[in-house]
């Protein structure tokens, strides 16, 4: 009779362990992993939607994806008090030049060109990346 009692307790214990594991998985999932931040810039509330040139660049990437699109992202930041947009990627095998644009969509330099480096552009946030992004 004591063996049956142990088996029943073990079955109950296993159910609790399974429930705990499922809850742990659900709680540990990062639902904001691919969430993109939105921050006003260039005198518009939502630059991704409201800056015509930026929206066109993003639409082009969405409508015409390449093998490298999954590595791309667009950052918004500040340089000398002005808003800038950095078209970057996390491609591990690419030797990439990272262009930087102003609010009008004019390329104003490259990351690492002597004017722009990772320390000179402040308050960067990701404002776009593809839905199949492999970048963190």
* This prediction's pTM: 0.71
In a domain, 136, yes or no: no
Q: Dihedral sign, CA of 116, 34, 95, 68?
A: negative
Instruction: Name the domain count of the chain.
Output: 2
Are 22 and 74 part of one and the same domain? no
Q: Are residues 25 and 51 both part of a single domain?
A: no
112 and 52 housed in the same domain: yes
Buried b (16+ CB within 10 A) or exposed e, 117-131: eeeebeeeebbbbbe
Residues 24 and 62 in one domain: no
Whether residue 134 lies inside any domain: the answer is no
Q: Are residues 21 and 52 in the same domain?
A: no
Strand order in the sheet with 72-79: 107-110, 99-101, 82-89, 72-79, 122-128
The predicted structure's pLDDT at residue 38: 66
Digit-by-digit pLDDT tens for the chain (136 residues) are 444 545 455 665 555 555 445 433 434 444 344 456 668 899 999 999 999 999 999 999 999 999 999 999 999 999 999 999 999 999 998 889 999 999 999 999 999 888 888 788 999 999 999 999 999 8
Domain residue limits at 94: 47-128
Cβ-Cβ contacts under 8 Å for 84 (sequence gap 6 or more): 76, 77, 78, 100, 101, 102, 108, 121
pLDDT per position as a tens digit, 40-76: 899 999 999 999 999 999 999 999 999 999 999 999 9
């Amino acid at each position: 009779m004591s063996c049956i009692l142990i088996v029943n307790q073990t079955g109950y214990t296993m159910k609790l362990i399974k429930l705990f594991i499922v809850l742990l998985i659900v709680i540990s999932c990062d639902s904001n992993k691919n969430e993109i931040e939105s921050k006003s810039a260039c005198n518009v509330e939502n630059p991704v939607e409201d800056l015509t040139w930026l929206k066109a660049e993003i639409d082009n990437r969405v409508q015409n994806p390449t093998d490298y699109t999954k590595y791309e992202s667009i950052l918004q930041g500040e340089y000398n008090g002005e808003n800038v947009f950095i078209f970057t990627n996390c491609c591990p095998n690419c030797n990439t030049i990272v262009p930087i644009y102003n609010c009008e969509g004019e390329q104003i330099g490259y990351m690492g060109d002597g004017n722009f480096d990772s320390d000179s552009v402040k308050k960067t946030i990701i404002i776009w990346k593809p839905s199949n992004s492999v970048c963190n």
